[in-house]
Structure 1
Amino acid sequence: MSEHRLLGTTGVHVSPLTLGTMMFGAWGNTDHDASVRVIHRALDAGINTVDTADVYSRGESEEIVGRALKGRRDDVVLATKFHGAMSDDDPNQGGSSRRWIIRAVEDSLRRLQTDYIDLYQVHRPRPEIDIDDTLSALSDLVHQGKIRYLGTSTFLPSQVVEAQWTAERRGRERPVTEQPPYSILAREVERDLLPTAQKHGLGILPWSPLAGGWLSGRYRRGEQPPVSSRQQRQPARHDADLPENRAKLEAVHQLQDLADEAGLSLIHLALAFVLRHPAVSSAIIGPRTLEQLESQLGADKVSLSDDVLDRIDEIVPPGTTLNEADRGYAPPALVEPGLRRRR
């Protein structure tokens, strides 16, 4: 692993690659021992930052991470998230209300077998909840020593600014990181989100830098697109018959050709591209197996030439996201007709 990077203006040093653990547990690798081996290999390779969430397999991922970090906890920058529904029956077991946050953090601490979380993140925006209520609860947790820093994930630029403004005006702890979707196929955050984050000194931890597997090298020109479990879980992002995904597939074929010409794997090309942006602190990789992890290690040592970067810009222009579903969050005003039609 190459030299560590600063996480925004926190003074915390993070590895260029962060180990994301969404695929450990029922959502991916159900073998806990195998998942622990992946985590240990990542740490041994120099990755010092681990990201999870309570909603990943409803707590199972956090439990695996907690087990894997025994004896190594203080060497790791540990991040987790709250917001996702943790019950099918109780609507209060999720979201970003003070009531839920105070309970959710205790549940995560127990599963992670730790007495503090380095970075506690709001997993998605909740426009109907006063951001001050959320920041107030998180500030209390910072003052209690249960979390060190707070962050956000998949917030719109306006929501990032609102959180900063609210924290300053109300005397709350401010979010110090943002975790957006960012890959060669999903570049919209380059328009406003990344410059906004830089202006406010936020660390950026992009999720899905391999575009949910589209940039894994599995999609080869002239071959039938592979069928994956993600097609059933997220058809809007992965159904190859949809026009927007056909556009992604054509871009992937061109990017694979470019990677071949440059003597790189497509995985390394994709990760190196994300790491090249000056706003990015660390890119989150999400391997399910040791083989997948090994294919991603070393991407931080790859330096893309300006010619290669220019070719990437020709294939997917800066600021362009080929499929709306890859944005990770649809504002209510776009999905609820009543919010854009005068009654």
Structure 2
Amino acid sequence: MEYRYLGASGFRVPALSFGTGTFGGQGALFSSWGQTDVAEARRLIDVCLDAGLNLFDSADVYSKGAAESILGEAIKGKPRDSLLISTKATFRFDEGENSVGSSRYHLINAVDAALKRLGTDYIDLFQLHGFDARTPVEEVLSTLDNLVRAGKIRYLGVSNFSGWHLMKSLAAADRHGWSRYVAHQAYYSLVGRDYEWELMPLAADQGVGAVVWSPLGWGRLTGKIRRGQPLPETSRLQSSTSIESGPPVDQEHLYNVVEVLDEIAKETGKSVPQIALNWLLQRPTVSTIVVGARNEEQLKQNLGAVGWNLSEDQVARLDAASAVTKPYPYWHQAGFKYRNPTPV
């Protein structure tokens, strides 16, 4: 397994990490992802560790805490220092007035509850699951800095932030000498390249590593979805709740991308998901890609995305097939590449 630095930090993470959204299967959304129990989770984690993948990502809202609990049970007995644990909080956890957002009250409670469910004394990477415009960034960052100093968190990140959300937070951290965000868990895929417009240049400039979620376009790049064919019965896209919760993708655009993926699959002998993941691994600022799996077969398929690289020509063809018209001001800036170079 290839390891990379997480942003500008000295923290090394595997190029692929394992997402636990399939653990538990509670609720309309997460039941459409998977229903992995403790025994299956142990097996999947062993497969990951055998391949050198040791970063496991979760969140308190995944199956109402069940995903964290299952992960905690599944890693019992394994040396803690051989594992990297990532989790997230911000979204509403229960009906309590303060069980949502990034207030000092909620973050302290959320971190303590996550530690208990995970059965660990510290979280390697803790990320805000979304931006909370109701809470001053100074309150958020000072709280997180205290949690780092207390030894409960090692590194900090965010997820689903806008460019100005992230930059305002980084500026406040620098101004007060607080711990900085070194990761941004962001949606990025061949059928969703919005990350490149503002978040990627910001990440390159400020040393924030991308932790990519849904790299297969919310289940659209599994190799089982093609023009004129019905959706597979096991696809999360069979669930209206899942579709509404995920990123929108124009169907014709999807089919155009898949056709090029199919061409390259024939050339390389690799699968469509492996090619889609490998394309992401070659993008600037990407530190790790979160892959999920309902079963061992899917997991091993995803692990096959590392250890090789697409050719420059194949990357260029995928770039062309997946390109869309950028919104203003990005299309205007693209006309002046000597002043707005592509991040490297």
| TM-score in terms of structure 1 length | 0.87
Give 1:292's aligned residue: 298
Q: Secondary structure at the match of 2:60?
A: coil
CA deviations 1:192-223 (Å, max 9, x no partner) are: 21121111111211111111111111113442
Distance 2:115 2:149 in 1: 16
Deviation at 1:318, TM superposition (A): 6.7
| Alignment pair present for 1:4 and 2:3 | yes
Tell me which residue corresponds to 2:18. Answer: 19
Which sections of structure 2, spanning at least 5 residues, go unmatched? 328-344
The alpha-carbon deviation at position 78 of structure 1 amounts to: 1.1
Match of residue 242, structure 2, among 234, 243, 247: 234
Which residue type is aligned with residue 299 of structure 1?
Answer: A
Deviation of residue 12 (structure 1)?
1.4
What TM-score do you get using the length of structure 2 for normalisation? 0.87
CA offset at residue 94 of structure 1?
Answer: 1.8
Counterpart of 2:331?
none
Q: What are the residue-to-residue correspondences of 1:53-72 with 2, within 5 Å? A: 53-70=59-76, 71-72=78-79
Partner of 1:104: 110
Equivalent runs, 1:154-303 vs 2, <5 Å: 154-227=160-233, 228-230=235-237, 231-236=239-244, 244-303=250-309
**Cα distance in 2 between the residues matched to 1:261 and 1:320:** 30
Q: Are the counterparts in 2 of residues 209 and 271 from structure 1 also a CA contact under 8 Å?
A: yes
Question: Deviation per CA, 1:157-210, whole angstroms, max 9, x where unpaired?
Answer: 111111110111123211111111011011111122112111111121111111
Separation (CA, whole Å) in 2 of partners of 1:157 and 1:265: 34
Aligned pair in 2 of structure 1 residues 198, 8: CA closer, same or farther (>3 Å)? same
Alignment partner of 2:148 out of 142, 146, 153: 142
Q: Deviations over 1:88-135 (max 9, x none)?
A: x22421211111001011100001100011111000112222111111
- Contact conserved, 2:158 with 2:184, CA < 8 A, in 1? yes
| Structure 2 Cα separation of the partners of residues 176 and 149 of structure 1 | 7
Contact 2:186/2:210 (CA < 8 Å) preserved in 1? yes
Matched, 1:75 2:82: yes
Could you tell me how far 1:261 is from its partner in structure 2? Answer: 3.4
CA distance in structure 2 between the aligned counterparts of 1:298 and 1:243, rounded to whole angstroms: 26
- The answer on whether the counterparts of 2:38 and 2:73 sit within 8 Å (CA) in structure 1 is no
Matched, 1:152 2:151: no
The residue that corresponds to 1:329 in the other structure is none
- In structure 2, the residue corresponding to 1:180 is in which secondary structure? strand
The CA deviation at 1:257 is 3.1
State whether structure 2 residue 91 is matched by structure 1 residue 84.
yes
User: Contact 2:124/2:155 (CA < 8 Å) preserved in 1?
Assistant: yes
From 117, 125, 129, give the equivalent of 2:135: 129
The one-letter code of the counterpart of 1:22 is G
Q: Which amino acid aligns with 1:17?
A: L
Amino acid at match of 2:250: E
CA 1:6 to 1:229, structure 2 compared with 1: closer, same or farther past 3 Å?
closer
Q: 1:34 aligns with which of 25, 37, 40?
A: 40
Q: Which moved more, 1:218-227 or 1:147-156?
A: 218-227
Contact 2:253 2:322 in 1 (8 A): no
What is the RMSD of the two structures over their aligned residues, measured on CA atoms? 2.1
Task: Give yes or no for contact 1:188–1:319 (8 Å, CA) kept in 2.
Answer: no
Q: Distance in 2 between matches of 1:288 and 1:185?
A: 22
Determine if contact 1:85/1:91 at 8 Å carries over to the other structure.
no
In structure 1, stretches of 5+ residues that fail to align are 322-343
